[in-house]
Each structure stands twice: as structure tokens, then as C-alpha cells.
């Protein structure tokens, strides 16, 4: 009986931890995302959910400045002035060929899967 209770408690704890790692769904928070200001573009960074507990969580840089960290099953966005941008994942920052260089137009939204 005691072993069954401990097993049930362990399963419940694991389920709680996994739920906490899920992150918000876009549909649940989209109404709270502010409108773009004039002359700005938006860049969304997202990483698919992973069953691997050791999934990479790299820092994301825009024009050489850290703007956030990618996490499995989560997303974030940054608003930037229209124009050329340089998007880099931290481990690749010394490799200029690894950078993504979108030309962001005013009102444009770009999606980057990490």
C-alpha cells in the first residue's frame, strides 16, 4: 500500500512538472500581444516541444544583443525598427554564415524556428 502511494505521488509530481514546462499556447495569449507600432516589424522565435529533458536552450541575439533564450515548447517575440536585422543563435555567433539576415519591413512579422 505504501509503495503504491509513493508511485502515485511520483507520477503526479512528474505530470505537474511536465505541465509547467509546456509554456503558453499562442491562441491563449494572442489577444494580449500588443499591436505593432508604426515603422516596426516583429520577429517571433519559437522552439517545438521536446520530450528530451536536455533539449538545447540557446540564447538568441539580434544585431549582436541578447534578446532572449529559446526553450522547448515556448515562444517569444521582439519588435525592431524596419530594416536589415542579423539574427544569431549564441553557439553559432562566431560563424557568420550561420546568421539569418531578414530585411524586416514596417508591419512585417517574421517567424524563426530554433
What is the tally of structural domains in the chain? 1
CATH of the domain at 94: 2.60.40
Q: Tens place of pLDDT for every residue, the chain, 114 residues?
A: 454 444 444 444 444 334 344 456 777 888 899 999 999 999 999 988 876 767 788 899 999 999 999 888 889 999 999 999 999 988 766 776 788 999 999 999 999 998
The answer to the question of residue 76 being in a domain is yes
> CA-to-CA distance for 71 and 50, rounded, in angstroms?
9
| CA–CA dist 4, 67 (Å, integer) | 46
pTM: 0.72
Asked if residue 72 is part of any domain, the answer here is yes
The residue range of the domain holding 74 is: 24-113
Amino acid at each position: 500500500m505504501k509503495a503504491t502511494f509513493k508511485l502515485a505521488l511520483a507520477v503526479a509530481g512528474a505530470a505537474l512538472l511536465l505541465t509547467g514546462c509546456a509554456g503558453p499556447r499562442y491562441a491563449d495569449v494572442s489577444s494580449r500581444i500588443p499591436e505593432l507600432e508604426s515603422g516596426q516589424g516583429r520577429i517571433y522565435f519559437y522552439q517545438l516541444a521536446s520530450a528530451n529533458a536536455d533539449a538545447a536552450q540557446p540564447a538568441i541575439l539580434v544585431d549582436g544583443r541578447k534578446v532572449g533564450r529559446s526553450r522547448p515548447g515556448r515562444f517569444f517575440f521582439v519588435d525592431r525598427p524596419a530594416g536589415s536585422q542579423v539574427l544569431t543563435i549564441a553557439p553559432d555567433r562566431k560563424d557568420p554564415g550561420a546568421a539569418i539576415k531578414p530585411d524586416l519591413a514596417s508591419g512585417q512579422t517574421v517567424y524563426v524556428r530554433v
